[in-house]
Structure 1
C-alpha cells in the first residue's frame, strides 16, 4: 500500500514541480532567485536544525545522517505561503502553494543511500508602477522560473558514534523576466524579455557525531561543507514593440533579437556547525550556525548593477519534545512537539542595506497508527526586508505539510 502511495505522489510531483511559481518576492529578481528549500518539514519546525539523527526521517541537508536510517523512508512536502508586502508608498498581498521536495532513503547495513528532487530556488514576481506626471508612464516587471536539484547521496557509519556522508546534485532550470514600459501619449510600448537556461553540478559533505553523556543524556554534533560550484547560463534577450488591445492583452508589432553574453553564476561555498543535547525519543535542544560565502554571487546579466552581495550567516535554535513515545492509551502523548527560531542576513544588499530574514516556527509530528510513518505540520511566521529607502518589507505566514512513510522494503517473501 505504501509503495502505491509513493508511486502516485512521485508522478504528481514530477508533473507539477517544474511548472510551479514558488515565490512572489520582488527580491527573487536577483541572483538565481529566492532560495526556497530550507529542509524537510520536521527540520523546518525546529528552525531548520539538522543536528539530530533520525531512524525514520530523511535529513536532506546532511548526507551523513542517511547512515542512521533503520527503515526505508519516503518523504514529500509542500507549503502554503501567505505574504504581505509593504513599502513607503504601497502595499500588497500574495499567496502561493508549492511542492518542496520528494526523496527516498534506503538503509543497507552500515550504509544509507538517498535520492530525490528538490525545487531549490524560485523566481516569481509581478510589479506595476504608474508615475503621477503630466505624461504618465506605466511600468510592469515580472519574472518566473527557478533552479531545481536532482540529488543522490550516501552516508556510512564508521563507528557507533561517527557517520560520514556525501551527495552530488545536478542543478537545472529556466528563468524568464520581462520589463514593460509605455507612455500614455505614445501609441506603442516597449518590452524587454530576458531568458536564461541554467545547469551545473555541486557537492555536499557531512559529518555527524553522537555520544552518551549519562545513562539518559546524549550529545549530538554535526558539520556540513559545500564547496563553491558554478551554474552555466545560456542567455538570450529580445526587445518587443507592443500594442495594448482593448481586451487588456498585448500584441507584438515588431521583435528584435539582442546579443547578450552567456554568463556563469557561482554557487557559494557553505559551512554549517551544529550541536545539541537531549534524551533520545524524549526531548532534544540544539543550535546551528551556517556561514555562506555569498560575496561571490552575481546576477544573471552583467547590466544588472543595482545590487551587490555579501557573506551571510544563519543562526538557528530549536528542538522537540515527546510526552511518551511508547504510550498506547494516549495519542497526544505520542505526538512530537517542535519549535525553533531562525535569523539570517540573506547576502543581498540593496541601497547599502542588508536584507535580513527572521522567523519563528512551531510544528507537530502526528504518528499514523500501526506504522512508523507520520504527518509533519509546520507553522512559520517571519519577516524579511525593510521599508528603508522604499524597499519592500515582507511579512509571511507559511503552513507546511510533510508526509514521511517508513517501512521495510526489499524483503524476500517466504510465502505467496
Structure 2
C-alpha cells in the first residue's frame, strides 16, 4: 500500500505540472484546432497505440467502449498518465530542440452489472502552441516590407463517459459520449515602419461527439473489434481586440469585438482491430482507422483536408507460468504506428511515423501496473518548405486496480 501511495503521489505531481504547460509545441499545431493528442491508457503506448480489440478486464481501454463489456466484477480501475517529450525541429537551414512535459489523462471505470461497466475520463483532445518571430513579408502593391510575429496557445479538452454491455459471452457493444470544449488564443504583431499593430484573438469551442464500438471473441485466442465516430460540428465564437502603438501614443482601435467565425467540422471515423494470442506467451494486435476529412468541405488557406489513414501494430510478451521472481510478472511490449495525417500543404502530407517499446511493472497481487514506454518518431519533412520533427517520448501510465464488495476470508 505504501508503494502505491508513493507512486500515485509522484504521478499526480508530474501530471499536475504537465497540465499547467503547453500541451504541444509542434509548429503544425497552428492549423485547424491544433495537433491531435494521443492520450492512450495503460500499456497501449508500448504497443504502438493499438488495441481496438483488447478487453477492459485488466486496464481501461479508451480505444473502444465495447471493451467495458468484458470488465471483471468487483474491480474498480483507475488510470492516470503523463509524458515527457524531447523534440528537434528542422527546416532547410535551421534546427532547434525543445523539451515538454505533458498531462495525458485521468480516468476510472467500474462495473454496474454482471454484463456491463462504465468509465469516465478527462484528457486533452487537441493542443496548440506555436511561435512565429519577425517574419518579413511584402506589402501588396508596394516595395516595402513589414515584420510579422505571432504566438498561439490553447486546444480542446475531452470529457467522456463510456458504457459497454456484453450481449453474450463472446459479443459486446459499447457507446461513448464526448463533451469537447476549450479555447485558443493568438497574439499577432505587425510592425509597419514605426507603427506597431497588436491583434489579440480568442476563439472558444464547444461540441459533442458520439462513438459506437463492438468486440467479438472468435475463440480464446482471437478477437476482433470495430469503432465508429460520428461526424459532428464544433461550435466556435471569436472575440478580437486591436490596438496601435507609435512612439508618441497607444490607441485602442477595437476592444472585445465579437466576430463571425466558421464552425469546425469533425469527420466520420471508422476503425477495425484484431488481437491474436500466439504460443500463449505473445499477443499480437493490429488496428486500422480511416477519417473522411475530404468530405467535410472545410476551407483552409494553408492547405487542403484529405482523408486520413492510421495503422498501428503491437506485440507483447509475458510468461504464461508466473514464478516467484518479480521479473516473471513483468510484461514487455513493442509497437509501430503510421499516420498519414489529414492536412496536405503544397501537395505534401504531414505524415507521422513512430516506433515504441514498453514494460508493465506489477505493483501488487492485483492488476495494478506501472506502464513505462519509450517512442521515437518523425513528423513532417524538410521538403516543400515544411518542418521535420524528430521526437523522443517517454510515457508513464499508472493503472490501479481495487477490489470492491469482497468479503474477507480471514477476520
- In the superposition, the TM-score normalised over structure 1's length comes to 0.87
Cα–Cα, structure 1 residues 35 and 242, in superposed 2: closer, same or farther, change >3 Å? farther
The yes-or-no answer on 1:110 pairing with 2:106 is no
Q: Of the candidates 224, 230, 233, which is equivalent to residue 230 of structure 1?
A: 233
Deviations 1:13-51 (Å, cap 9, x if unpaired)? 997676431001111111111011242251121111112
Superposition deviation, residue 11 in structure 1: 8.3
Moved more, 400-409 or 52-61: 52-61
Mapped pair 1:389 → 2:389: no
1:120 is aligned, of 120, 125, 133, to: 125
Matched residues, number: 401
Partner of 1:254: 252
Partner of 1:204: 211
**Offset of 1:200 from its aligned partner?**
0.7
1:325 and 1:104 map into 2 onto residues whose CA distance is 29
1:79 matched residue in structure 2: 83
Which runs of 5 or more residues in structure 2 are unaligned?
Answer: none
The runs of 5 or more residues in structure 1 that have no matched partner are 245-250
Cα deviation for residue 191 of structure 1 reads 2.5
Cα-Cα RMSD: 3.0
Using the TM superposition, name which of 124-133 and 233-242 deviates more: 124-133
1:352: Cα distance to partner?
A: 2.0
- 1:101 aligned to which of 95, 100, 105: 105
Query: Could you tell me whether the CA contact under 8 Å between 1:83 and 1:94 is conserved in 2?
Result: yes
- SS at 1:404's partner residue? strand
Rounded to whole Å, the distance in 2 between the matches of 1:60 and 1:130 is 41
Aligned counterpart for 2:68 among listed residues 66, 69, 79: 66
Is 1:37–1:118's contact at 8 Å kept on the other side of the alignment?
no
**C-alpha displacement at 1:327, in angstroms?**
1.9
1:192-228 CA-to-partner distances (Å, cap 9, x unmatched) read 222111111011111011132xxxx611110000110
Separation in structure 1 between the aligned mates of residue 223 and residue 197 of structure 2, nearest angstrom? 58
Residue 30 of structure 1 corresponds to which residue in structure 2?
31
CA shift digits 1:291-349 (9 cap, x unpaired): 101224577xx7x5122111111011112100345222x22221111111011111011
- CA gap of 1:8–1:375, structure 2 versus 1, over 3 A, is closer
Aligned counterparts of 1:162 and 1:129: Cα–Cα separation in 2:
58
Give every structure 1 segment of 4 or more consecutive aligned residues whose post-TM-superposition deviation is greater than 4 Å: 1-19, 130-137, 296-299, 410-416
Task: Return closer, same or farther for 1:72/1:94 CA change in 2, 3 Å cut-off.
Answer: same
Give the SS at the match of 2:327. Answer: helix
Change (3 A) 1:138 1:346: same
The counterpart of 1:409, out of the listed 390, 398, 404, is 404
CA contact (8 A) 2:289 2:310 kept: yes
Q: Report which stretch shifted further, 271-280 or 139-148.
A: 271-280
SS at match of 1:263: coil
Shift of 1:361: 0.7
Distance 1:64 1:243, change over 3 A: farther
Match of 2:174 in 1: 165
Aligned counterparts of 2:136 and 2:191: Cα–Cα separation in 1: 11
* Gap change, CA 1:412 and 1:241, over 3 Å in 2: farther
- Secondary structure of the corresponding residue to residue 340 of structure 2: strand
TM-score (norm 2): 0.88
Secondary structure at the counterpart of residue 60 of structure 1:
coil
